[in-house]
Amino acid sequence: MVVVWSNSAKTELRKAYQYIALDSLQNAIMVRDTLIDSTIELSKNPGKHPADKFKKDNDGTWRAFEKHHYRISYRILKDQIRIVRMRHTSRSPLNY
């Protein structure tokens, strides 16, 4: 299974990297790489994380996990894992 990031999730990853890099380039690289590696790992076991509790009417294909204070929401599709959203955990969750 291939992992595909939505444009909005890629934008949030870029913003997070830029914000962290203001304080520490080394930490920015580490957080970015860890988040990307965590999503790549999903191709081996897409169901390893719990169902996304903020997704209304979740049919079980919407999942989420937290890493480095970022919440990654993804959807398991037939031939891909779609990274839908990335948000810092200090921000209020959005229902979708």
- Quick count: other Cβ atoms within 10 Å of Cβ 67? 15
- pTM given for the model: 0.89
* pLDDT value, residue 91: 72
Tens digit of pLDDT for each residue in 13-23? 999 999 999 99
DSSP single-letter state for residue 47: G
The chain-wide mean pLDDT, for the chain, equals 93
What class does CATH assign to 2-88? alpha beta
Nearest to 48 by CA among 63, 58, 34: 63
Give me the mean pLDDT over the 61-74 stretch. 96
Domain spans of the chain?
A: 2-88
Tens digit of pLDDT for each residue in 21-58? 999 999 999 999 999 999 999 999 999 999 998 888 99
Give me the residue label for tokens 């970015």.
32
Q: Which amino acid does the sequence have at 94?
A: L
* pLDDT value, residue 93: 60
